[in-house]
Amino acid sequence: MEPVYTSVISTARLVFAAQGLKFRIVGEDNVPRTGGAVMAINHTGYFDFTYAGLAAVKSKRLVRFMAKKSIFSHRVAGPLMRGMKHIPVDRRDGRGSFNRAVQSLKDGEIVGVFPEATMSRSFELKEFKPGAVRMAQEAGVPILPTTLWGSQRVWSKNTPKHVGRSNIPVFITVGQPMVVAPDENRVEATERLRVLMQAQLEAQQAAYPPMTGEDLVFLPARLGGTAPTPEAALALDHHDMNRTVDKFNKGRESRD
């Protein structure tokens, strides 16, 4: 029994009910009731980790998410993140963060990761990093391909927020566990994971209620929406990254 995590889940479900979010969860039985697993999740909205965790509730599992170290030092969020035993990611000590995640997997935990590393502005799958596959191989656990669709309509980058009563449908699918052999090529396994998640995502998109009018900003250009193309989204990501680096350098110069 984990009072912090269970209290947060209960509070979140009350918030979701107040928002009128309509969850459709497929594949809950694919979440193992015991043992470690890497939950690999696509990333289109700020609340993705809270929604993905719902898929593990039926199996009575709690997902330990990897999150930026800075969140753990926040006055309010920090104690909650530590209380829920999430895993801080320190970009200056990537190996240390990785090792902590692998140990959690070996201890029988489900660890949630976003293979794309950053949020997708195009709402298409971005290039995957190999971290999820590496963790699964080193810990000897399966990967749970998990896709979300609709979460971008609640709150995403550079789009209107709908955090009040919205009645937005949010689709969650957990695919069959993907086993990665110890000697399997990580690049090939990562692409295999991406292909599986792409198929799941397209099935969700096909079944989702049509988006029209102002909601077209949440629909990929490939499907007739007005979201940035993957190429335009990548350019926006690079712009933000360069702006962050420039801000950091200016701050360092002023201290010097």
Q: Residue 161's domain is classified under what CATH number?
A: 3.40.1130.10
**170, 23 Cβ separation under 8 angstroms:** yes
Q: Supply the pLDDT for residue 239.
A: 86
Q: What is the DSSP letter of 33?
A: S
Instruction: Name the residue type at position 50.
Output: T
Dig out the tokens for 171 from the structure. 């689709």
Q: What is the distance between the alpha carbons of residues 218 and 216, in angstroms, rounded to a whole number?
A: 5
* 159 within 8 A of 195, measured Cβ to Cβ: no
Q: Which residues pair with 143 in a beta bridge?
A: 38, 178
Tell me which amino acid residue 43 is: H
In a domain, 233, yes or no: no
Domains identified in the chain, total number: 1
Pairing of strands 110-113, 22-26: unpaired
Q: Which segments of the chain are extended strands (E)? A: 22-26, 37-41, 63-68, 87-89, 110-113, 143-149, 169-174
Domain residues for 110?
Answer: 3-216
The answer to whether residue 254 sits within a structural domain is: no
Dihedrals phi, psi of 82, to nearest 5 degrees: -70, -40
Does 222 fall in a domain? no
State residue 93's pLDDT score.
75
d(CA 138, CA 135): 5
Residue 230 lies in a domain: no
Q: Can you tell me the distance from the alpha carbon of 139 to that of 125, in angstroms, rounded to the nearest whole number?
A: 25
pLDDT of residue 248: 43
In a domain, 251, yes or no: no
Per-residue pLDDT of the chain (256 residues; tens, 9 = 90+): 799 999 999 999 999 999 999 999 999 999 999 999 999 999 999 999 999 999 999 999 999 999 889 999 999 999 999 999 999 998 777 889 999 999 999 999 999 999 999 999 999 999 999 999 999 999 999 999 999 999 999 999 999 999 999 999 999 999 999 999 999 999 999 999 999 999 999 999 999 999 999 999 999 999 999 999 999 999 999 988 876 545 544 555 555 5
Looking at the domain assignment, is residue 208 inside a domain? yes
- Rounded Cα–Cα distance for residues 145 and 175 (Å): 5
Find the length of the chain. 256
Q: Answer whether residue 39 is part of any domain.
A: yes
Q: Is residue 243 part of a domain?
A: no
